[in-house]
Structures are given as C-alpha cells and as structure tokens.
C-alpha cells in the first residue's frame, strides 16, 4: 500500500495552479496579441467592402421591387375602381403614388436614385387609365451608389411591368 501512495504522489503535477498564477504564466505574450490583431485587420479590410457592396445591392433590389409592386397596385386599383391612378417621379430619390382615394410619397433607400426616366412626352408621370392600361409605355432606371442599375419597363399595349438588371451594369 505504501508503494501505491508513493506512485500517486509522483504523478501529481510539480506546480499547482496557485503557483502558476503567482508566476504570471497565464495569458498571451505581446507578439501573440500583435499577430492576432494583424490577422483581424486583414479580415476586416476584406470583409467591410464586401459587406458594403452586399448592402448596396440589397437596397437597390428592395427599391426596385417596391416600385414594381406600387406600379402593379396602381394598375390594379385603376382597373378595379374605374378611376385613373398614377405614379409621379417627384425627385431623384422619391415618387408619389396617387390613387382614387389616397396619395402617398415613397422615399428610396439611402444611396439609391433614379438615374434615367424614359417616359412618353418627357413627362415625369406613369398613369394608368380606368381600364388599367398605361397612358404610355416607358422605362425607369434605378441606380445604387456603386453604379449597379435595375430597369423597370412598362409596356404600352399589354400594361406588363418587367424588372431586369441593366446591361453593362457594374
């Protein structure tokens, strides 16, 4: 029995946790911390621009989808109520939806603007008559701050609304 006790005693660690704390052996050295900070800075220099690009693209998609939905709603309201409905482009970053009983202004997200409007007679309005047909066809181009574009086209004869990414868009 005595031999077993002596063997167990030899297997125990030489220094205890309390002794290690007093000798300051725990923690990281300055070179280790500098290496970690250097690696993190490399990750952030790559990740931040990618994140900003993704956010700008999502904002453009959201704004384009919202405008398409508002155009489709305006066409449906005009057809159902028998009264004209229109969307007027007030500024580079907002538009006004005017229906039979209500009017509302829609602001585009920050960094998204109208870059081009090809509407009939250089008007700044898309109007749907009482049958839900557009008074004229045309297209509206949205652009984000990185130059990426989305084009919304309204076809004159069918009233169809089509959303697509602009050709040559970055």
pLDDT tens digits, residue range 153-167? Answer: 999 888 899 999 887
Q: Does residue 159 fall inside a structural domain?
A: yes
Length of the chain: 170
Q: Does residue 78 fall inside a structural domain?
A: yes
**Taking the complete model, does pTM exceed 0.85, yes or no?**
no
* pLDDT tens string 35-49: 999 999 999 999 999
Question: pLDDT at position 11, please?
Answer: 54
User: What residues have CB less than 8 Å from 151, skipping those under 6 apart?
Assistant: 139, 140, 141, 142, 163, 164, 165, 166
Q: Does residue 160 fall inside a structural domain?
A: yes
* pLDDT tens string 7-34: 555 555 555 555 555 555 578 888 999 9
Domain count for the chain, please give it: 1
Domain interval for residue 96: 46-166
C-beta separation of 75 from 128 below 8 A: yes
Give the CATH number, domain containing residue 102: 3.55.40.10
Distance CA 170, CA 65 (A): 19
User: What residues have CB less than 8 Å from 115, skipping those under 6 apart?
Assistant: 141, 142, 143, 149
Structure tokens at 101: 């009983």
């Amino acid at each position: 029995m005595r031999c077993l006790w002596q063997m167990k005693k030899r297997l125990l660690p030489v220094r205890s946790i309390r002794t290690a704390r007093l000798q300051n052996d725990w923690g990281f050295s300055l070179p280790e911390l500098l290496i970690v900070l250097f690696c993190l800075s490399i990750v952030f220099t790559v990740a931040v621009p990618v994140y900003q690009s993704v956010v700008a693209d999502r904002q453009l998609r959201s704004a384009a989808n919202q405008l398409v939905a508002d155009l489709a709603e305006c066409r449906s309201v005009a057809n159902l109520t028998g009264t004209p409905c229109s969307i007027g482009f007030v500024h580079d970053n907002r538009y006004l939806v005017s229906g039979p009983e209500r009017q509302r202004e829609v602001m585009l997200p920050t960094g998204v603007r109208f870059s081009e409007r090809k509407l009939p007679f250089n008007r700044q309005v898309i109007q749907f008559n009482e049958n839900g047909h557009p008074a004229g066809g045309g297209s509206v181009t949205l652009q984000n701050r990185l130059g990426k574009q989305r084009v919304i086209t309204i076809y004159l004869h069918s009233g169809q609304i089509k959303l697509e990414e602009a050709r040559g868009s970055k």
